[in-house]
Amino acid sequence: MIQRNLLPVLLRSAELYPVVTLTGPRQAGKTTLCQQAFPDKPYTNLEPLETRAFAQEDPRGFLAQFPSGAILDEVQQAPDLLSYLQVHVDRNPAPGQFMLTGSQHLGLSQAISQSLAGRTAVLHLLPPNLEELRRFPNPPDSLFDTLFAGAYPRIHDRGIPPSRWLSDYLATYVQRDVRQVLNVGDLATFTTFLRLCAGSTAQELNLSRLATDAGISQPTARAWLSVLETSFLGFRLPPWHTNLRKRWVKAPKFHFFDSGLACHLLGIQSPDQLRTHPLRGALFESWAASELLKQQYHQGRQPQAFHYREISGREVDLVLEDGPRLHLVEMKSGQTFDSSWIEPLRGLQQDLAGHASIPPEGTLLYGGHQPQTRQGVKILPWSSVDKIGQDG
């Protein structure tokens, strides 16, 4: 298995806190990372019913097995255990004792906020970004192969065809995880909702339309969308606004975290199909936005990411705040550069020039291969997505 960028952050956190909590989607590599980082720690998984019952019925006895700490996997299955873990680490606050992993961020975060506030570092591990994918023996080498395969580690580590693995992953997610979080009577309707969300990736969120198209109420659509977010399948990108006299759109955008899963939900069966697919640009935009968020999360940082669109129509796909510095990013899947692509970036750069302490950096990420600079805008090929925001 490859080394993950979050590894040094995890090790540093374990030097400061008695507990480190690692969250993220299922099959992102959380267990593997913890075992790589702490190979001598005992490991136990709370998913099996007998282990879970032990932790729930006799939490003191369960923790007594691990006087020097342990890796506790899928800890959201026994949230009450964290109250007893609080007592344990209060008595012995030595750093680096327990590593907790969990897939359902909402259930885990609620338990942590009640029991382990101030006692644990919370980190997020997502599927590998492009830089990490290149560490596998046979990484995808073209844009469409990369979008189609997505980034879940087992696809690349074991050479499993993406469509087959993602089909199994989706079935497990819907059948098990969704039922644990929501009282969904009709799983087919939820799957339809998932496919509609994939068809809306990189678009401004319209809950009313999603609800109508899925045949559910708007409150149900809101609850289901929250489940996609808490299980790290998708994320909302809120609108960004300035103090300038502009009228801007206030709706967030919704993005899928994994382009491969979005392709699977859309029925895309091969990388070549992406070349002419009507959602090629949207899938590329979501992939690029996800890459930039992964870059932040895997440095142990909380991304400050937004989108920008004025009522007049001018828009910039992504605005990244990094302290006083702004990174404005536009994404285009085309392979041949068009000078019109940088006009929104140039316009917003000029508007902000006299209002920002540091001039905002504009970057166009496109589906081609030639880096260049035009009118103060960096133009980067898709394969250099990891270079955005790294200079300065």
Q: Provide DSSP, 221-250.
A: HHHHHHHHHHTTSEEEE-B---SSS--B--
Q: Which of 116, 107, 106 is nearest to 17 (CA)?
A: 116
What is the chain's mean pLDDT, rounded?
91
> In angstroms, rounded to a whole number, what is the distance separating the alpha carbons of residues 155 and 138?
11
CATH number of the domain enclosing 116: 3.40.50.300
User: Would 286 be classed as within a structural domain?
Assistant: no
Phi, psi of 381 (to 5 degrees): -70, 160
Residue 315 β-bridge partners:
309
Beta strands in 103-180 (DSSP E): 120-124
Residues 310 and 342 in one domain: yes
Q: What pLDDT score does 391 carry?
A: 56
Query: What confidence category does residue 356 fall into, taking pLDDT thresholds of 50, 70 and 90?
Result: low
The encoded tokens of residue 272 equal 């070549």
Q: What pLDDT score does 392 carry?
A: 44
Residues 160 and 199 in one domain: yes
The encoded tokens of residue 17 equal 């806190």
78-134 per-position pLDDT tens digit: 888 999 999 999 999 999 999 999 876 556 677 787 788 889 999 999 999 999 999
Residues 15 and 94 in one domain: yes
Least confident of 90-99, 109-118, 222-231, 328-337: 109-118
Pairing of strands 325-332, 361-366: parallel
Identify the domain containing residue 73 by its residue range.
7-124
Q: What pLDDT score does 325 carry?
A: 87
Q: Which one of 277, 295, 329 terminates a domain? A: 277
- List the alpha helices (DSSP H) in 67-152: 81-91, 105-115, 130-133, 143-149
pLDDT value at 370 more than 70: yes
Number of C-alpha atoms within 13 angstroms, CB side, residue 15?
7
Burial pattern 157-172, b for ≥16 Cβ within 10 A else e, equals eeeeebbebbeebbee
Least confident of 231-240, 322-331, 350-359, 380-389: 350-359
Q: Distance from CA of residue 294 to its chain's centroid?
A: 6
Opening angle at CA 237, ends 204 and 293, nearest 5: 140
Residue 253 β-bridge partners:
204, 237
Question: Which amino acid is residue 355, in one-letter code?
Answer: H
User: Would 250 be classed as within a structural domain?
Assistant: yes
Residues 223 and 340 in one domain: no
For residue 148, with 0-12 CB atoms within 10 Å meaning exposed, 13-18 middle and 19 or more buried, which class applies? buried
Residue 260 · residue 151 · CB < 8 Å: yes
For residues 257-270, average pLDDT? 97
Residues 138 and 119 in one domain: no
Residues 148 and 246 in one domain: yes
Sheet holding 305-309, edge to edge: 305-309, 315-322, 325-332, 361-366, 377-381, 372-374
pLDDT value at 10 more than 50: yes
Query: What confidence category does residue 346 fall into, taking pLDDT thresholds of 50, 70 and 90?
Result: very high
Query: What confidence category does residue 244 fall into, taking pLDDT thresholds of 50, 70 and 90?
Result: low
Residue 210 · residue 197 · CB < 8 Å: yes
User: Would 366 be classed as within a structural domain?
Assistant: yes
Residues 107 and 135 in one domain: no
Residues 135 and 79 in one domain: no
Residue 381 · residue 126 · CB < 8 Å: no
H/E stretch holding 315: strand 315-322
The encoded tokens of residue 340 equal 């019109």
Number of domain units in the chain: 3
Residue 41 · residue 69 · CB < 8 Å: yes
Q: Which of 375, 304, 321 is nearest to 344 (CA)?
A: 375
Q: What pLDDT score does 243 carry?
A: 61
Token match 């997610």: residue?
173
DSSP helix/strand/coil, 142: coil
User: Would 66 be classed as within a structural domain?
Assistant: yes
pLDDT value at 212 more than 60: yes
Q: What pLDDT score does 345 carry?
A: 93
Query: What confidence category does residue 312 fall into, taking pLDDT thresholds of 50, 70 and 90?
Result: confident
Residues 144 and 261 in one domain: yes
Q: Which of 335, 342, 332, 330 is nearest to 375 (CA)?
A: 342
For residues 58-72, average pLDDT? 96
Q: What pLDDT score does 176 carry?
A: 74
pLDDT value at 245 more than 60: no
pLDDT value at 4 more than 50: yes
pLDDT value at 390 more than 80: no
The encoded tokens of residue 377 equal 């805008």
Residues 173 and 248 in one domain: yes
pTM of the model: 0.93
User: Would 63 be classed as within a structural domain?
Assistant: yes
CATH number of the domain enclosing 206: 1.10.10.10
Radius of gyration of the chain (CA): 22
> In angstroms, rounded to a whole number, what is the distance separating the alpha carbons of residues 376 and 162?
39
Residues 117 and 141 in one domain: no
Q: Which of 257, 297, 235, 390 is nearest to 10 (CA)?
A: 297
Q: Which one of 229, 262, 277 terminates a domain? A: 277
Q: Which one of 67, 94, 124 terminates a domain? A: 124
Residue 72 · residue 101 · CB < 8 Å: yes
Q: What pLDDT score does 263 carry?
A: 97
For residues 267-280, average pLDDT? 96
User: Would 95 be classed as within a structural domain?
Assistant: yes
Q: What pLDDT score does 355 carry?
A: 67
Residues 263 and 322 in one domain: no
User: Would 282 be classed as within a structural domain?
Assistant: no
User: Would 119 be classed as within a structural domain?
Assistant: yes
For residues 356-360, average pLDDT? 77
127-174 per-position pLDDT tens digit: 999 999 999 999 999 999 999 999 999 999 999 999 999 999 998 877
